[in-house]
Amino acid sequence: MKNILFLFLLATFLTACANKEQPDNTATKETGVTNPIAPLNPNGDSELALLMRKMEKQWQDTKKNLEAGQTIHDVPDFHDLLTATPTDESMTMDGFKGYATSYLNKIKALQNTKGNQQKTAYNDIINGCILCHENSCSGPIPRIKKLLIKE
Ligand code: HEC
């Protein structure tokens, strides 16, 4: 019985994350009926989801600059990660804070790195994204892997 409940929860959880890019999911989200806990933004996306897209955009730009041989000076601070409201509370359970903190520390490490080491420090950050996603929300992982710089 416990196993069934677990599978059910797991299925709901995985679907919530995997369906992110399908527009037909938006309608349900906007009604708020399936999701009374997390306050949603007017466009139906959670604070955390919006922050994720902002981070993705930021690292896409950083990747381009590093690949062009530039040195990164200003590294953004994504501390909102620790407080942003997720689509579903289950997404930020179990270890989320730990993964988030470790990811934020990797950003600081990039800030303190110079020259050729920056690419490695950058990839460390992206691996920090992937680590958390393996444990919280596996849907976007293929998308995140595109951010890695091939060395
Ligand atoms: C500490 C855990 C954690 C870290 C670190 C993390 N993510 Fe996420 N990510 C999540 C969770 C949880 C969601 C689901 C958010 C929601 O739906 O509210 C998510 C959602 C996403 C989404 C889907 C957003 C959407 O459109 O709905 C993308 C893309 C994404 N993350 C990319 C990234 C990238 C790129 C990084 C690193 C720069 C990253 N994530 C770091 C936990 C994390």
* Nearest atom, ligand 1, residue 58 CA: 38
Band (40; pLDDT cuts 50, 70, 90): low
Look at ligand 1, atom 32, and give the residue with the nearest C-alpha: 52
Task: Report how far residue 75's alpha carbon sits from residue 93's, in angstroms, rounded to the nearest whole number.
Answer: 27
22 pLDDT above the threshold of 50: no
Tell me, what's the pLDDT at 124?
A: 98
**For residues 130-150, average pLDDT:** 95
Band (129; pLDDT cuts 50, 70, 90): very high
Task: Report how far residue 17's alpha carbon sits from residue 42's, in angstroms, rounded to the nearest whole number.
Answer: 19
Distance of CA 43 to the CA centre of its chain: 19
How far is CA 28 from each of CA 19, 44, 139, rounded to the nearest angstrom?
A: 12, 9, 19
Band (94; pLDDT cuts 50, 70, 90): confident
On average, the pLDDT of the chain sits at 81
Ligand 1: which of 133, 138, 149 to mutate, judged by most atoms within 8 Å of the beta carbon?
133
18 burial type by CB count under 10 A (0-12 exposed, 13-18 middle, 19+ buried):
middle
Distance of CA 28 to the CA centre of its chain: 22
How far is CA 55 from each of CA 28, 35, 115, rounded to the nearest angstrom?
A: 26, 24, 23
Tell me, what's the pLDDT at 74?
A: 87
How far is CA 74 from each of CA 24, 62, 64, 83, 137, rounded to the nearest angstrom?
A: 38, 10, 15, 23, 29
143 pLDDT above the threshold of 70: yes
Task: Report how far residue 113's alpha carbon sits from residue 110's, in angstroms, rounded to the nearest whole number.
Answer: 5
